[in-house]
Amino acid sequence: MAIKMLSIQGYRSIQNLRLSMDTVNVISGANGCGKSNLYKAVYLLAKAVNGELSKTLALEGGMPSVLWAGNKKQTTQTKASVRLVLSLQTDDLNYEISCGLPKPTLSKFRLDPEVKEEYVWFGDSRRPSNTLIERQGAIAWFTNTDGKRIPYPVSLSHSESVLSQLQDPHLYPELFSLSHEIKKWRFYHHFRTDPESLIRNPQIGIRTEILGNDGYNLAAALQTIMEIGDHELLNEAIDRAFPGSKLLINVDNKTRFEVQMQMPGVLRPLEARELSDGTLRYLCLVAALLSPRPAPLLALNEPEMSLHPELMQPLAELIVSASQYSQIWVTTHSQELATMIEDSSGTKVVNLVRNEAGTQIDGLTPWERLL
């Protein structure tokens, strides 16, 4: 269930942006153009479906902090300055969630979002006949398997997506399928490599088909790829980045797993605590991209961080290879990495700019931005 179109309205520097999605999507642009805001908006959409909308927004300063921060005179719709609208289009379904500030009450939870509207529908244009969910505040109507429009019998939380509160999957199979797919999206934007990080220290290992979003289970994830994943591509990724080196996973008598590297000219394997930040981050990216259980969407935010320039080409090749199984999103400052991915995948880099109207896709006419 790949994303065909992504639409963001009213999120920080993004007033209104529509992005046509491809198998590989590389987002680039100058500092301050809104790359991170676009990435965070997609992350927020996933968190909403996981039932973590309020928590995620609270970590960003609450609902008032994430609304459109530009000149309100530039908005084209009255609601644009007071609503955050996230929507996506797939081959089968469309989903949209609209959030705003809560109504004034005596509650002290003033940073919580309030879901104003939410919809899921078939086709391009939403009509009553093709709408599976229509939500207004805490009340929602569903179209069940018999094609009947019925009120949802459970009162909904004002601050969370209806897709995170669904019950009875047999009654709403399309909705559960959409929710299930979005919940499997993966985001990697920070791997801790400081001396106290779990990556640098032995950890109890279990079979790990999915790398944690902070890389804490790196050793177990790499060992899992060696045993049940594409171990040949793993070895190739190591040799392309570190010629003549060999990846080792040491397991002690307490089944604690540790990453080690045997490098040319070094008489003993180097332990994780001895490896450079860039080496460990590259290994994390390898583990994420070679997961034996690929994600529908795999998003990498600034994967080039701390990497030596010589690692860009092997990383680009891994990213393009992973796109055989996952839709890929890469946000990058590195023009070199962006160009390498573009050359290998044939997909054009999306360059962002920022002006009085907020974050925009460079090169589009005002009319094209509305399509």
Please tell me the predicted confidence (pLDDT) of residue 79. 47
Helix (H) or strand (E) holding 262: strand 256-262
Question: So where are the chain's domains?
Answer: 3-185+352-370, 200-292
Please tell me the predicted confidence (pLDDT) of residue 184. 97
Chain centre to alpha carbon of residue 291:
16
Taking only Cα atoms into account, the Rg of the chain, rounded to an integer number of angstroms, comes to 22
**Backbone dihedral region for residue 255 (phi beyond 0: left; psi -120 to 50: alpha; all else: beta):** left
Please give the Cα distance from 121 to 118 (Å, whole number): 10
Return contacts of 150-156, CB within 8 angstroms, 24+ apart: 156/115
Angle at 88 between CA 59 and CA 56, to 5 degrees: 10
Please tell me the predicted confidence (pLDDT) of residue 366. 58
Please tell me the predicted confidence (pLDDT) of residue 258. 97
Helix (H, G, I), strand (E, B) or coil at 141: strand
Helix (H, G, I), strand (E, B) or coil at 33: coil
Q: How far is CA 168 from CA 107, 134, 145, 173, in A?
A: 32, 17, 12, 9
Burial (CB count <10 Å: 0-12, 13-18, 19+), residue 111: middle
Residues 6+ apart with CB under 8 A from 356: 70, 71, 74
Burial (CB count <10 Å: 0-12, 13-18, 19+), residue 176: middle
Please tell me the predicted confidence (pLDDT) of residue 80. 45
pLDDT-flagged residues of the chain (< 50): 77-80
Q: 316-359 pLDDT, tens per residue?
A: 999 999 999 999 999 999 999 999 999 999 999 999 999 999 99
Please give the Cα distance from 312 to 308 (Å, whole number): 7
Please tell me the predicted confidence (pLDDT) of residue 172. 85
Please tell me the predicted confidence (pLDDT) of residue 369. 58
